[in-house]
Structure 1
């Protein structure tokens, strides 16, 4: 099996390894995020792509990688759990930030990335360019995590339907 690209990027791994080894982060593997991925897989995808963008432009790649990994650090099924304080889009970033603070010290930048990553579904504008990166990468990854497996399933259904068709003989 081919190792994921992020695991081959030793500089990236060095930035997140302490967090990734934490039981609290590994527990995200128990939760489905976007139908076909776990919350941990999603968080790593957001973290790594955001890190690569921040690094390319000379921005704070470390904070981007770490906050990207922790942006969805919550432990409930967001499809069924409801809160009196507000919507999932409002509540979970704040919950994730509080959970992240229990694991590591967070900079103002990292807090902004985590709390504001749901901008567009919430009204609080991100303060930093790295926050915008994680916000848009999060949306991109969510769409990709749902769309790619669905297009594969649709393709297989079409192939199956074609295979069931009887050849027509023209006389």
Structure 2
């Protein structure tokens, strides 16, 4: 369902200008949650949030656009440490600053980006869209992390069915 974002022309009309930016394409060079890259993760979060936003009658455009840039930072979060706070606290602010350099953002989009780590930070979402993207981001991180385990178990199951 969520793998088909390339064929969803309405979604593409909303996000293609962002995806065309070299700053966004650069995210493909950074590992995210061990087994995926940050660009793939951002597209997954964006499209899942967009789809759910449509179903729930929320601002799907803001969800799609903020989802693409919610992790627009250029460092390995497992290695880089900050004096001002944790990665969970710092990177939404860095991402917002970087996103504002490449596109105008609505107040809702800004809130979505800044609050996407709610739960790890105290910054409460002001919009349902912010809460939704936060939950989708968490879900995507969990599934990204456990996909190799799922694939390994599927391989073992297949091997058991093969008769030698």
TM-score in same-fold range (> 0.5): yes
**1:83-162 matched pairs, under 5 angstroms:** 83-156=82-155
Aligned match of 1:52: 51
Give the Cα–Cα distance (whole angstroms) in 2 for the partners of residues 159 and 62 of structure 1: 41
* Aligned residue pair count: 160
Aligned match of 1:166: none
Structure 2 residue runs of 5 or longer lacking an equivalent are: none
- Runs of 4 or more above 6 Å deviation: none
1:81 paired with 2:83, answer: no
Q: RMSD over aligned Cα, in angstroms?
A: 1.7
Deviation, structure 1 residue 151: 2.2
Bigger Rg over Cα: 1
**Residue 155 and residue 130 in structure 1: after superposition, are their counterparts in 2 closer, same or farther (change >3 A)?**
same
Give the Cα–Cα distance (whole angstroms) in 1 for the partners of residues 42 and 57 of structure 2: 22
Relative to the length of structure 1, the TM-score reads 0.88
Structure 1 residue runs of 5 or longer lacking an equivalent are: 164-171
Cα-to-partner distance string for 1:23-76 (whole Å, 9 max, x where unaligned): 000000000101111000000000000001111122111111000110000000
Aligned match of 1:70: 69
Aligned partner of residue 76 in structure 1, secondary structure: coil
Relative to the length of structure 2, the TM-score reads 0.92
